[in-house]
Amino acid sequence: MNGINTPKRNGPPERTRFELDGRSVALDRRIHAARGDLADLALAGVLFSAHYARAVPLTCVATGTAITSAPTPTADAVSELLRGETFHALDVMTDWAWGFCGHDGYVGYIRRDALDVLEMPSHRIMVESAPLFSAADIKAPIADHWPGGALFSGVVQGDFVACAEGFVHSRHAEPIETKSADWVCVAERYLGQPYVWGGRGHRGIDCSGLVQAALGQAGIPVPRDTDLQCEGIGMPIDSDAALQRGDLVFFPGHVGIMTDAKTLLHANAHWMAVVKEPLADVVARLADAHAQPIIARRRISA
């Protein structure tokens, strides 16, 4: 023999032994797609799973639909996907798909009939709610109402943007590359909208959904939940520094947006709506339950 390990000519080939080494990593399952039987292939280097799947990007074609914690209509809503946003599917079942949202990586289940092949959007709804006309005429029957932030592919035709489902008035839509200069102004469009846990603007919105929706339309992607936002948005503000428009104030499990030095804009379960009120009133309301009502203040850099 020549000293080289040559393969056997008879019998089955020798199997290569596969071993995992290194320290196991604790992953936040809200933003890392891994469950007991399946995980995103992108996690193969850091997480062992019985099976991996490569994510398939699909488009949400429903006006708005819940992302839920389990594949059942009675499961808790953990977030929401709007028309035109992307969902990366890892497991597609008869009625449900499991995967993560394209804009923030949030993991959950979505109704299968809310998804279709990937669409490349050209426009965004830039008002709180936009009527979808059945023809290029403001007197035409309204087929639907699309929420602010919804995305779609269309072609400008006179005063309208024509798309597969109908016509959106050009006053209600903007090219997707357009970024709102005043993101607080975007947030103020949601004033009066009902507070809905997990909502991002379709028939309701929650506190972190309001922050995410407004900043997202300004071209600033942010995480979904308040704790993730508190860790990952902007820079801390000194406790003795004056607040200003656009600052974020974090409370236990809650977040709001300052519209000036003293006024907070927030979606909240006390009023069950998006409201503006004095920050001092919010602090006083929480003082009985929390020794430290304000847990963080952060400023978005220009």
Q: What token pair was written down for 161?
A: 């943007």
Cα–Cα distance between 284 and 298 in angstroms, integer?
20
Residue 145 sits at φ, ψ, to 5 deg, of -125, 125
- Residue 294 has a pLDDT of 97
- Report the run of H or E that residue 87 belongs to, with start and end: strand 86-92
Q: How confident is the model at residue 10 (pLDDT cuts 50, 70, 90)?
A: low
Cα–Cα distance between 40 and 105 in angstroms, integer?
11
Cα–Cα distance between 210 and 188 in angstroms, integer?
9
pTM here is 0.90
Q: Do 152 and 51 fall into the same domain?
A: no
Q: Is there a contact between 173 and 161 (Cβ–Cβ < 8 Å)?
A: yes
Q: Looking at residue 45, what DSSP letter applies?
A: T
User: Is residue 15 a part of any domain in this protein?
Assistant: no
Q: Do 69 and 100 fall into the same domain?
A: yes
Range of the domain at 263: 183-299
The CATH number of whichever domain residue 102 belongs to comes to 2.30.30.40
Q: Tell how strand 77-82 and strand 86-92 pair up.
A: unpaired
State the distance between the two ends of the chain, measured CA to CA, in whole angstroms. Answer: 71
Query: In the listed set 116, 139, 164, which residue is the last one of a domain according to the structure?
Result: 116
Q: Which tens digits make up the pLDDT trace of 218-229?
A: 999 999 999 999
User: Is residue 21 a part of any domain in this protein?
Assistant: no
User: Is residue 3 a part of any domain in this protein?
Assistant: no
Cα–Cα distance between 133 and 269 in angstroms, integer?
34
Write down the residue that tokens 């320290």 correspond to.
23
Q: Do 92 and 153 fall into the same domain?
A: no
- Sheet of strand 123-125: strand arrangement: 151-152, 123-125, 173-175
User: Is residue 99 a part of any domain in this protein?
Assistant: yes
The CATH number of whichever domain residue 273 belongs to comes to 3.90.1720.10
- Residue 239 has a pLDDT of 87
Q: Which tens digits make up the pLDDT trace of 85-109?
A: 999 999 999 999 999 999 999 999 9
Q: What token pair was written down for 226?
A: 């308040």
User: Chain centroid to CA 109: how far?
Assistant: 13
Write down the residue that tokens 């979505």 correspond to.
110
Q: Compute the 3-state secondary structure of the chain and give helix, strand, coil in percent, each to the nearest 5.
A: 15, 35, 55
